[in-house]
Amino acid sequence: MEAALLAFLVACIWGLNPIFEKLAIGGTTPFAMITIRFVFTSVCLLVITFFTGKTSEIAEVDRYTLFWILLSGLAGGLIGLFLYFTALKQDEASRIVPIVASFPMFTAFFAWIFLRENITPLRVIGIGFVVTGLILINYRELVSN
């Protein structure tokens, strides 16, 4: 399947997922939701890993790579999701999700600092569009405060 079509399907799935999350978070806590989600996902992944014979790929991960995987899981998977679910429980999905989805703006900044990637004029313009979009989405709340 063409990469752009796959990316579009991912965007559709990820666009629908916050609806499921918003419906779920009203009946539980962020901690319980993350725990149930991770246990379910882990069981599914273990079954898939076993039946596809991919267990050796996990055993071959070196310590350096494992460190970054675990740090990513802690930052994005645990802390980030906990904060996201807490925000989602407190406000509208149509307001919270676009704010969370502004992460590429931060990625560009952190990539510039830690990976020495260039911030080109086009990226600056793109970041400007992200900020403009966030202002437009939250305009009513910004004006009322």
Q: Give the pLDDT confidence score for residue 127 in this predicted structure.
A: 92
Question: Of 84, 112, 77, whose CA–CA distance to 99 is shortest?
Answer: 84
Question: Of 131, 139, 86, whose CA–CA distance to 104 is shortest?
Answer: 131
The dihedral region occupied by 116, where left means phi > 0, alpha psi between -120 and 50, and beta the remainder, is left
- Residue 126 forms part of a structural domain: yes
- Residue 87 and residue 42 in one domain: yes
Q: Give the pLDDT confidence score for residue 1 in this predicted structure.
A: 67
- Residue 85 and residue 117 in one domain: no
- Residue 76 and residue 112 in one domain: no
- Residue 116 and residue 135 in one domain: yes
Give me the residues of the chain with pLDDT under 50, please: none
pLDDT in tens, 49-72: 999 999 999 999 999 999 999 999
- Residue 74 forms part of a structural domain: yes
- Residue 7 and residue 68 in one domain: yes
Number of domains the chain is built from: 2
Range of the domain at 40: 1-91
- Residue 9 forms part of a structural domain: yes
Q: Is 21 helix (H, G, I), strand (E, B) or coil?
A: helix
Q: Give the pLDDT confidence score for residue 140 in this predicted structure.
A: 79
Quick check: 85 and 18 in contact, CB under 8 A? no
Q: Give the pLDDT confidence score for residue 22 in this predicted structure.
A: 95
Q: Give the pLDDT confidence score for residue 104 in this predicted structure.
A: 87
- Residue 1 and residue 69 in one domain: yes
